Every structure is written in structure tokens, then in C-alpha cells.
Structure 1
Amino acid sequence: MAISIGFLIFPQIQQLDLTGPYEVFTAAAGTRVDLVWKTREPVISSTGLAFQPNATFADSPQHDVFCIPGGAGVNALLEDEAVLDFVRRQAAGARLVTSVCTGSLVLGSAGLLQGRKAATHWYAMDFLQAFGAEPVAERVVRDGNLITAGGITSGIDFGLAVIAELLGAEEAETVQLALEYAPAPPFSSGTPDAASATVLAAARQRLSGSRQQREAILARMAS
């Protein structure tokens, strides 16, 4: 029987949070991947790409692996009880409960990170503590059946780690080779510690709008 993998998708999703691990999962032998949302209407990502859900909250099967990507659209999910209830139901029966980037904040809002180690995007790391999680600045973090990935591109590493867990290292390595995943970035500015002060300030400014909205939501939730 195929391993069932479900992605929660939503308006303003960060497309690479989804498509990075999606590419890995669909390249592996013996997997089935579903995109799940409230309806089957197309979902538009933060960069304008449209994704077509093939399952809804009402008819989604229980998945072996359940994953929440991140993106600006996460903010609306943090207070959406229909989403959080679906997340809790999937998490209760999943073999692995997972997230990419700020998707971990949705797991936190659903009450699934209390006392757990977790990762997220570097500019959202401090938010994890609001949900009782222990922030860990790594690309892939495992705590029991919880696997969370850092920001955006970490989703590819995460996908390979999940395939290795489910189907063995050889299958994960085969997928890695098939995708020619051998990153050698032209610049060494992929983390806050490696980036120059000027680049770090520019990135913080570019991400500030979504962060300010998130701060307001968490303040409201806390009160």
C-alpha cells in the first residue's frame, strides 16, 4: 500500500515550502501525495502560482505523513478553528506530523508543539516560544514523530529526511540523485550569521509586514 502524504495548502502559501518537498515525495517510490484545503477551488500562492487541491477537510483520508508549509498565509490560519481542528485530527492519526518554515506555527497554534523541539524560518524563531516549543536553528529538527524544517529551501532537505525515515536511505539518495540536488550557492548569505549587516537589514525590512501582522495576532491570542 502506498504511503499517504498530505499537504495543507492555503491562500498566500509560500510556493517553495510546498513544491520543494512535494517534488521529493512524488519522486519516491510507493507514495501518494494529496493537496488539502477547505474547498477544491484553486489556491493562489504568495507569488501568484495557483495550486489545485484534490481533497477537502471533509473528504481527506487520514495521512501517514501530514505536512504544513509556511508563508504569509499562515497568519490567517493561526486563528482559524476549522483549520486547527483539521490539523489536530490529522496529527492524531499520522505516523509523522511535519511542517516547513512557518508552517510550524500552525502546529503550535493547534497545541502540538508544547514541550517539543521545533524549527521554523530564522525570522520567526522567537514565535515558537509562544507555543511552548523549544526553538532549534537547524534545517531539519526531529522530536519523536514531529519533524519540522527551517526556512523555505530547507523543505528539500526535510523531504529527503522523511523519505529516508519511511523508505530507507538508499531510496532517499536515489531521489536526491534523480533531482540532482547538490547545492552550491553562489553566495554565502543564506543564514543571518553568514549574511552581512546590510543584507540582513534588507531581508528583515522585506519580511517586516508579515512579521508585524503575526506579532499582533500572537498578542491578541495571548490576551
Structure 2
Amino acid sequence: MPELVPIRVAFLLFPNVTQLDLTGPAQVLSRLGNATIDLVARTRDPVMSDAGFALLPTATFDDAIQPDLLCVPGGLGVNDAMEDDATIAWVRQAAAGAQWITSVCTGSLLLGAAGLLSGYRATCHWASHDLLAAFGAIPVKERVVFDRNRATGGGVTAGIDFGLALVAAIRGEAQARLVQLTLEYDPAPPFDSGTPTSATPETLARYERLAGEGLAARAERTRAVAAKLSGASYP
């Protein structure tokens, strides 16, 4: 069997990242074969996730090696990351030389803020899905979306499906099926409540009450970043 071409995968790591957006696909992509995984942050200090525990970077913006595959996770920290010049600069730099430019959950908003989704079909967590259009992306309500060398995954747990789809695209379906088996990925959730259409009206209303203020703030900041990106003024 011929040796697999090496592939270097870099995940952006920023404060208040949703760890499963990162660790789910990272676990899958680590089994691409001949793959190296980097977690890239501003410094090598531990980075706190929005689950309340820290992740340890393996490289910084200054010393990271050019990835073949860039992946941007989402989370509460996306709001600040979209407006952080150093973060956006590294995402653009990494994307310029990457074969694959990808995201999970609201990480696609950060790709959008870097100007990397204009004219591309993309997806996002359902609660922020409509914000993609602010960056010129074409929102698609699917769990995983491919458009040329862009691949985006839906909210949080979709990162595993996203990872398997990328393994298939890069190494072939046989390898993706093997990885799925090794991870015993055979989801059978105890409740049918994973989308707005399957959740009960009471559950959806409760989510909207809890998240409404944060979602409104994200929408406002997204519009501001998008306007700045396009060179327009924002009142």
C-alpha cells in the first residue's frame, strides 16, 4: 500500500471556544492517517473553553506551520474573535496556503469575518444561521456543506459528521467508514430535540429566553464586522 500523503490540520483556538466544536472533528481528523493536528492560539498559555476547562495550544500565530487544512470552531468567543485583528490576520494567512478552509458551528461567522465565505454556500449553528448572509455567504440548512475547498459544519455535534465527510473527501469513503467504526459513532439520542423543528415549542421558547440577549448582541456585532469588511460605515 502506498504511503499516505501527510496532511497538517490546524484548529484555531480562542477564549470561550465551544470545545466539542474543536475536539469532535479533531478526534476524527486525527485518524486521517499520516496527519498532524495543531491547536493554534495567540500564545501558548492555556485557553479557557466555554465549558469551563482549558485547552492547551500547540502553536502560536507567530510560529504555526502552514496547514493543509484549516478548521475554525465556534462558541461564545466568536463574538470577540471576529473583532480581533491578530486572530483574523492569522486565519487569512493560514487560509491563503491551505487546501481546505473549514469551520464548525459559528466558526463559519469567523471565516466570514475574514472575508473567506463571500459567494460560498455554507452552514452554521441554527440559531446564528441567518447571519452568514451578512458576509456574502449563501446560507444552506444542511448538517455539512461543501463548496469547492470550503467545508462547513452545523452546530457542535455536527462537527463529527463534518470530520467524517472530510476524511471521505481526503482519504476516501473506505477510510471514513473505518474511522466511524473505530469511534463507534452510531448516534441514538435519548430525545428527539436536536433541531428547532423537532424540539417541543416549550423547549424552543426556553432556549430563546435564555439565549435571546446573547443572540441579539451577536447579530449586532456581526453586522458591524460585516460593514467594516465591506468598507461601509456603521452607525
TM-score (norm 2): 0.92
Q: Which moved more, 1:19-28 or 1:142-151?
A: 19-28
Unaligned runs of 5+ in 2: 228-233
Deviations 1:149-201 (A, max 9, x none): 00000000000011111111111111100000011111111111111111111
**What amino acid does structure 2 have at the position aligned with 1:139?**
R
In the alignment, the residues of structure 2 paired with residue 176 and residue 76 of structure 1 have an alpha-carbon distance, to the nearest angstrom, of: 34
The answer to whether structure 1 residue 26 and structure 2 residue 30 are counterparts is yes
**What amino acid does structure 1 have at the position aligned with 2:26?**
Y
**Is the CA contact 1:123–1:204 (under 8 Å) kept in the aligned structure 2?**
no
Q: 1:71 aligns with which of 71, 75, 79?
A: 75
Q: 1:215 aligns with which of 219, 223, 229?
A: 219
Q: CA deviation at 1:147?
A: 0.1
Q: CA deviation at 1:114?
A: 0.7
The answer to whether structure 1 residue 125 and structure 2 residue 129 are counterparts is yes
Q: CA RMSD in A?
A: 1.1
Deviations 1:77-117 (A, max 9, x none): 11111111111111111010000000000000011111110
The answer to whether structure 1 residue 194 and structure 2 residue 225 are counterparts is no
Secondary structure, counterpart of 2:39 in structure 1:
strand
After the TM superposition, which residues 1-223 of structure 1 pair with which residues of structure 2 at under 5 Å, given as runs?
1-221=5-225, 222=227, 223=234
**Is the CA contact 2:74–2:105 (under 8 Å) kept in the aligned structure 1?**
yes
**Is the CA contact 2:134–2:223 (under 8 Å) kept in the aligned structure 1?**
no
Number of corresponding residues: 223
Q: Which moved more, 1:21-30 or 1:149-158?
A: 21-30
Q: Which moved more, 1:141-150 or 1:167-176?
A: 167-176
**Is the CA contact 2:124–2:154 (under 8 Å) kept in the aligned structure 1?**
yes
**Is the CA contact 2:129–2:139 (under 8 Å) kept in the aligned structure 1?**
yes
TM-score (norm 1): 0.97
Deviations 1:60-85 (A, max 9, x none): 11101000000000000111111111
**What amino acid does structure 2 have at the position aligned with 1:83?**
T
Unaligned runs of 5+ in 1: none
Secondary structure, counterpart of 1:27 in structure 2:
coil
Secondary structure, counterpart of 2:101 in structure 1:
strand
